């Protein structure tokens, strides 16, 4: 979400009372969100930056701009979080006398819908190739980034496995980039690709398996979106 505050410029020393400080609104909004974190669920994430904070120290800022990311485990929870966050932005405008413009991103990233049949087949194939799998609880309680593959799983059944690359480096770091490009990582990447390919072959050639996958897809999507016509 991009948030823009519009105030009124004035000389900060000579006529500060004539100005409407857009930077004050940005700072209040940032602090409002910091206070909101006390009541946020552990699985919710709100993080952002002030992209434009003014021009010169001796000019009351007439324009500021912030960019924030909002994350939640599901679209339902995201809508709840979004309302709370937008109230933080709006109240900062009200307190400072600024006008506020709140614009969402061009595309939302949906949560990845699970498919228990695809997961089961993939794990069976993975174990044949020597892959060790973590517990189900650590997957459900684990934190993740955003991916447009979640949008895909609302249209067709899908599978989005993570895999070990031979390094304990954290993702989105220089160390992870180096590890991912190493020769050691190629073994793990190719092994995962083989497990995925074997899973695709099972879906194609095992009688009745595709219908099981479709059944799981319909059920989890109905649970996610709710019955349209009870």
The two tokens of residue 85 are 């966050």
Domain positions in the chain: 2-103, 116-225
- DSSP assignment letter at 111: P
The answer to pTM > 0.95 is no
Distance of CA 105 to the CA centre of its chain: 12
Report how far residue 182's alpha carbon sits from residue 165's, in angstroms, rounded to the nearest whole number.
9
Report how far residue 119's alpha carbon sits from residue 59's, in angstroms, rounded to the nearest whole number.
59
pLDDT at 138: 62
Quick one: which of 90, 98, 7, 93 has its CA closest to 55?
7
Cβ–Cβ under 8 Å, residues 80 and 103: no
Tens-of-pLDDT digits for all 230 residues of the chain?
A: 999 999 999 999 999 999 999 999 999 999 999 999 999 999 999 999 999 999 999 999 999 999 999 999 888 899 999 999 999 999 999 999 999 999 998 888 998 999 999 999 999 999 999 999 987 766 655 566 788 999 999 999 999 999 999 999 998 899 999 999 999 999 999 999 999 999 999 999 999 999 999 999 999 998 887 754 44
pLDDT at 4: 98
Domain boundaries 2-103, CATH class: alpha beta
pLDDT at 146: 80
pLDDT at 227: 52
In sequence order, which residues have a C-beta less than 8 Å from that of residue 27 and are 6 or more positions away? Answer: none
């Amino acid at each position: 979400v991009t948030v823009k505050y519009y105030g009124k410029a004035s000389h900060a020393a000579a006529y500060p009372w004539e100005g409407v400080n857009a930077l004050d609104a940005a700072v209040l909004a940032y602090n409002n969100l910091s206070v909101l974190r006390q009541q946020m669920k552990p699985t919710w994430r709100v993080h952002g930056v002030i992209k434009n904070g003014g021009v010169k120290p001796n000019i009351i800022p007439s324009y500021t701009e912030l960019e924030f990311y909002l994350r939640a485990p599901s679209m339902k929870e995201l809508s709840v979080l979004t309302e709370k966050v937008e109230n933080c932005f709006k109240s900062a405008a009200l307190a400072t006398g600024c006008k506020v413009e709140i614009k969402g991103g061009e595309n939302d990233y949906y949560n990845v819908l699970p498919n228990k049949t695809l997961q089961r087949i993939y794990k069976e194939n993975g174990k044949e190739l020597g892959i060790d799998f973590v517990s189900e609880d650590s997957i459900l309680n684990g934190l993740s980034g955003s991916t447009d593959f979640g949008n895909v799983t609302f249209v067709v059944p899908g599978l989005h496995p993570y895999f070990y690359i031979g390094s304990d480096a954290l993702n989105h770091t220089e160390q992870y980039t180096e590890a991912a490009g190493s020769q050691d990582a190629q073994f793990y990447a190719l092994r995962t690709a083989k497990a995925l390919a074997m899973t695709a072959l099972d879906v194609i050639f095992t009688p009745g398996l595709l219908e099981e996958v479709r059944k799981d897809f319909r059920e989890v999507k109905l649970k996610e979106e709710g019955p349209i016509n009870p």
